[in-house]
Structure 1
Amino acid sequence: MNGGSVLRAARLVATVPAPLEPGSADAPFLQHTGGRRLVVQRADTELAVLDTASGDVVRFPAPWPRSLGTVAVSPSGDIAVFAGLHAVRAVAASGATLWELRHACWADECPEMHEEFGSYADDCDEGGEHEYAGSGSAAFSCDGKLLWAHVRGPLAADGAADDAASDEFWLVLDAADGRVLARTSTGTVASGSFHTVHPDPAQMGLSVGEGEEGSPALWGRLDGGVLSVRKIDDETVLLDASPSGRHLLATDVQQDALYLHAAEDGTILRDLDADGAVPPHSQGGRVYWDFAAAFTDESTAVAGTSGSDAGYGPGRHWLIGTDDMAVRALISYPRPVSGPVRAAGEGAWYTVSEDRTAVLVWELAQES
């Protein structure tokens, strides 16, 4: 039987209200580490972090507007790290800066090593040199002790050293004080990036968007103070790591196929083309995978085609068997959902409501 003709029910685990108004903030996202789920939402002047277990909300003052970088939150929810155009800054809920690492500006033609955001705040408006600057990203290791950061070099601490060339670096920092424990050049020219957290704190994934130039996916491993980096592919986006950490789920930049990689060496073990595996729309149109997916266990994942479904009907999510990379079933929901699926940990995934006011956590319903 074709997996696309089989239905598998999803059960709603939780509906978590977004902590900020959608009109003035980015869409919320759910972070899961160490068995704790945090709903994170960024506005221009603050970052709100909601603990789904207690309902408590911690608010961090933001050092610069949300369009000028990305953010990472510690697994305990008590530290926010803002990766901006000129610095990576760790902030406590009190507003105090815990540490800051300054680096070269992400704006292509800007030669300055900025001391603070105020020095270029007026140049971020329409037509300004910093309006369309690239950006890096940061992520805490699963235990919260390390911070992995993708930045543009040189670092302020490099001074005028001969080897402090303009380059992009992947850093591993002590999350407590911002000390650089290891670093290596990525050889990339990023317009943006994001990390994929691994269950081993000494490993991390990095997907780098280079516009029309490609999308290299890198895998980092910290061993004895040395950061070694392996390129998985030049046109790949990492989606999730399996619960054991042995496997990685990815897609290509055209979103044609899902790929199961071995985390150990990046080898492609199996793949699944959307064309042929997913029933086409009755009105035609290319079917392709979303840039998001979630492992529910070591041999099962949920992936969507909601982007290609838009305009043809409701977005569809699919249960994928990763042992043979085959569609097992179409996910059936008890209420309408929108957008892609993302990992929520402990066998669950989440979606964001269409009006961005809530995070919906789902798991597979028990089969009767």
Structure 2
Amino acid sequence: MDVDAHLLDSVALPGGRELVHGRPFELRGTGLHRALLLHGADLEVHELEALFAGDRAPDVVFPLPWPGWGGGTHSVHPDLAFAAFSGQRSVRAVRADGTTRWVYEHACWDQAVGHPHTGDERQICGGIESGSCQVSDDGRFVWAHVVLEAGDDPDDYLEGWVVLDAEDGRELARLPLPDSVASGSWHLTHPDGVHMGLCVGMGQDGVLVYWGRWDGRQLTVHDGLNEGLDRILFDVHPDHAGFLTVEHYGNDLQLHALDGTVLAENEDVRWDHCCGFLDGDTVIATTRIEYDSDPEAHGTWLLDARTLERRGRVRYPSGPADGSVRPLGDGTWLTYDATADTVHRWTA
């Protein structure tokens, strides 16, 4: 059964591709969608509703502390007190006026053994690897994926996950990640306000997924998905009913309990790296056209959020839209039109 998509809003937005293809939305549980757009050496923070209403002016702009650095996944404090930037050799909290609130220094993400550092504040070396950071929804902590150790021997290289005090950047807890050799990573806040997710992409070597909880004394971590190194973390149910992953090559889509237990699975088609909860009852996901020979499987699908059974395929009024979608959790989703540099918002 086809399900008609109804166009709600459109906005022509240079750089808008990242609103759909990147990972810019934060504070999802509050009903406020903040879009983070990196324009040149500035991180712009927009309220999504204001963008679609025609207000192109950002709520606040944070200057990137390392001009020329193109890696890392960054975050902002809930009350916009600072942006937390994930750099090549440090995590840095920066206020809107460009002043530094604090710096957490770590070893270099460049995996070339024994490469020199000049002490240059730009902190840019030749490697393309990077980490990520995320401010907790209550604004008290910054979780960061960093390099703990690096030296003249490849065996000295060690990545880790740290919890920092958002007030002053002090390290409160750390978890060494001896199996991680990241190309990049991203965080995902859990709507329970307690847990934080980390997904580490290692290219052809696979994927690692962790769920962490810091109770003020102990860092507790679930890593039950990592035996096969093949699942990518995408979204969490708004009522805590599980989280979504896609197999590295799109072979299946799964719903998990926090410990990794599989609650539901769909392996009817080859799934793309694009899915999420449209609302508490519905998952929206796209298929991998290049791998699936069945044309009837191609497109964007709505699935039952508890069973992952397909309910229907989305039919756009002007034919197929761009394959990627960005569900917002409120019954709407975004697509991006590259020909017009335009972001569209839809509902079923």
Is TM (by shorter chain) over 0.5?
A: yes
Deviation at 1:91, TM superposition (A): 1.4
Task: For 1:192 and 1:256, locate their aligned partners in 2 and report how far apart those are by CA, in whole Å.
Answer: 22
Contact 1:307 1:339 in 2 (8 A): no
Alignment of 1:30-179 (within 5 A): 30-33=24-27, 34-54=30-50, 55=55, 56-57=57-58, 58-64=60-66, 65-111=68-114, 115-118=119-122, 121=124, 124=125, 130=126, 132-154=127-149, 166-179=157-170
Contact 1:74 1:140 in 2 (8 A): yes
Q: SS at the partner of 1:138? A: strand
Q: Tell me: CA distance 1:29–1:193, structure 2 relative to 1, closer, same or farther (3 Å).
A: closer
Contact 1:86 1:117 in 2 (8 A): no
Contact 1:318 1:330 in 2 (8 A): yes
Deviation at 1:327, TM superposition (A): 0.8
Question: Which one of the candidate residues 242, 260, 271 is aligned to 2:265?
Answer: 271
* Unpaired runs of at least 5, structure 2: 151-155
Q: SS at the partner of 1:293? A: strand
Question: Which one of the candidate residues 4, 12, 27 is aligned to 1:9?
Answer: 4
Contact 1:338 1:351 in 2 (8 A): yes
Which residue does the alignment assign to 2:284? 302
Q: Which segment is superposed worse, 137-146 or 105-114? A: 105-114
Deviations 1:114-140 (A, max 9, x none): 75443x54xx5xxxxx1x331111122
* Unpaired runs of at least 5, structure 1: 1-5, 125-129, 156-164, 276-287
Contact 1:199 1:244 in 2 (8 A): yes
Contact 1:141 1:198 in 2 (8 A): no
Equivalent AA in structure 2 for residue 49 of structure 1: V
Alignment of 1:288-367 (within 5 A): 288-305=270-287, 308=290, 316-335=299-318, 337-355=321-339, 357-364=341-348
Which residue does the alignment assign to 1:221? 213
Q: Tell me: CA distance 1:203–1:307, structure 2 relative to 1, closer, same or farther (3 Å).
A: farther
Identity of aligned residues (%): 34
Q: Tell me: CA distance 1:115–1:361, structure 2 relative to 1, closer, same or farther (3 Å).
A: farther
Deviation at 1:175, TM superposition (A): 2.2
Task: For 1:22 and 1:94, locate their aligned partners in 2 and report how far apart those are by CA, in whole Å.
Answer: 25
Q: Tell me: CA distance 1:21–1:250, structure 2 relative to 1, closer, same or farther (3 Å).
A: closer
Q: Tell me: CA distance 1:293–1:74, structure 2 relative to 1, closer, same or farther (3 Å).
A: farther
Contact 1:26 1:43 in 2 (8 A): no
1:183 aligns with 2:192: no
Q: Which segment is superposed worse, 303-312 or 345-354? A: 303-312
Q: SS at the partner of 1:67? A: coil
Deviations 1:37-60 (A, max 9, x none): 122211331122222344341222
Deviations 1:259-284 (A, max 9, x none): 11012x21011111143xxxxxxxxx
Contact 2:146 2:159 in 1 (8 A): yes
Deviations 1:130-188 (A, max 9, x none): 1x331111122233332211000149xxxxxxxxx642111112223222222111221
Contact 2:185 2:199 in 1 (8 A): yes
1:253 aligns with 2:248: yes
Q: SS at the partner of 1:292? A: strand
Per the normalisation by structure 2, the TM-score is 0.83
Deviation at 1:61, TM superposition (A): 1.4
Q: SS at the partner of 2:240? A: coil
Number of aligned residues: 327
Which residue does the alignment assign to 1:127? none
Deviation at 1:241, TM superposition (A): 0.3
Equivalent AA in structure 1 for residue 172 of structure 2: L
Task: For 2:329 and 2:185, locate their aligned partners in 1 and report how far apart those are by CA, in whole Å.
Answer: 22
Q: SS at the partner of 2:204? A: helix
Q: SS at the partner of 1:290? A: strand
Equivalent AA in structure 1 for residue 303 of structure 2: I
Q: SS at the partner of 2:290? A: helix
Q: Tell me: CA distance 1:97–1:107, structure 2 relative to 1, closer, same or farther (3 Å).
A: same
Task: For 2:137 and 2:119, locate their aligned partners in 1 and report how far apart those are by CA, in whole Å.
Answer: 31
Deviations 1:180-234 (A, max 9, x none): 2221112212111111221123211111112222211111122242112221232
RMSD across aligned positions (CA): 3.1
Equivalent AA in structure 2 for residue 45 of structure 1: A
Task: For 1:149 and 1:261, locate their aligned partners in 2 and report how far apart those are by CA, in whole Å.
Answer: 24
Task: For 2:107 and 2:2, locate their aligned partners in 1 and report how far apart those are by CA, in whole Å.
Answer: 51
Which residue does the alignment assign to 1:158? none
Task: For 2:203 and 2:7, locate their aligned partners in 1 and report how far apart those are by CA, in whole Å.
Answer: 37
Contact 2:280 2:329 in 1 (8 A): no
Which residue does the alignment assign to 2:153? none
